[in-house]
């Protein structure tokens, strides 16, 4: 195996060839965006003529010109389309960007006729940031388990810092390249 690690590169391939049942398939992404657009355009509480999310987007556009936000109640989404809300809970890393893209499209398509002058004054199309509201009971951070990783969960408290997981060696095994002698070294923290 001479030259096996000569270039020092690490290669990784994803061997997960099957779609996970709770992950959206590529053809379903268009359906999710369509569901979100329908939700933003047509959701009304108690069948009234008020459309809270459409009105919220309109107020946001009139108030700010550089940063758009949209606060969505997860229970409203579930009452409109349970499947989309379930997918948002199961894989927020894939659904949130779709939701934000759909909200941005809604800004520039459906509200354009009403707010044409305001939209023309914008130098670039700012992105929409989604805020998710829920009445679910928050969980304590210490109760989170591995199956909750990459899922949408509600936690109590204030997150002051988030970082990627870093490995820390507790024991090192060093091998001599000349004589293949192996030394074990304990790492003290």
Q: What is the pLDDT of residues 62-73, one digit of tens each?
A: 776 666 788 999
Local structure of residue 50 (DSSP, 8 states): -
* 139-148 confidence digits (pLDDT tens): 888 888 888 8
pTM confidence score = 0.63
* Residue 116, pLDDT score: 56
CA distance 98 to 30: 9
Q: Are 182 and 173 in contact (CB under 8 A)?
A: yes
């Amino acid at each position: 195996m001479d030259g096996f690690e000569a270039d020092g590169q690490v290669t990784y391939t994803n061997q997960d060839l099957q779609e996970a049942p709770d992950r959206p398939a590529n053809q379903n992404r268009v359906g999710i965006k369509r569901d979100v657009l329908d939700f933003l355009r047509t959701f009304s509480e108690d069948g009234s003529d008020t459309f809270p999310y459409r009105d919220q987007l309109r107020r946001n556009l009139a108030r700010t010109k550089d940063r758009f936000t949209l606060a969505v109640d997860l229970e409203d989404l579930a009452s409109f389309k349970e499947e989309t809300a379930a997918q948002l809970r199961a894989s927020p890393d894939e659904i949130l960007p779709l939701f934000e893209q759909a909200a941005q499209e809604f800004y520039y398509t459906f509200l354009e006729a009403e707010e044409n002058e305001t939209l023309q004054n914008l130098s670039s199309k700012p992105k929409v940031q989604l805020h998710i509201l829920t009445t679910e009971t928050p969980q304590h951070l210490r109760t989170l388990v591995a199956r909750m990783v990459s899922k949408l969960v509600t936690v109590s408290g204030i997150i002051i810092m988030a970082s990627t997981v870093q490995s820390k060696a507790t024991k090192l095994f060093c091998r001599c390249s000349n004589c293949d002698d192996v030394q074990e070294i304990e790492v003290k923290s």
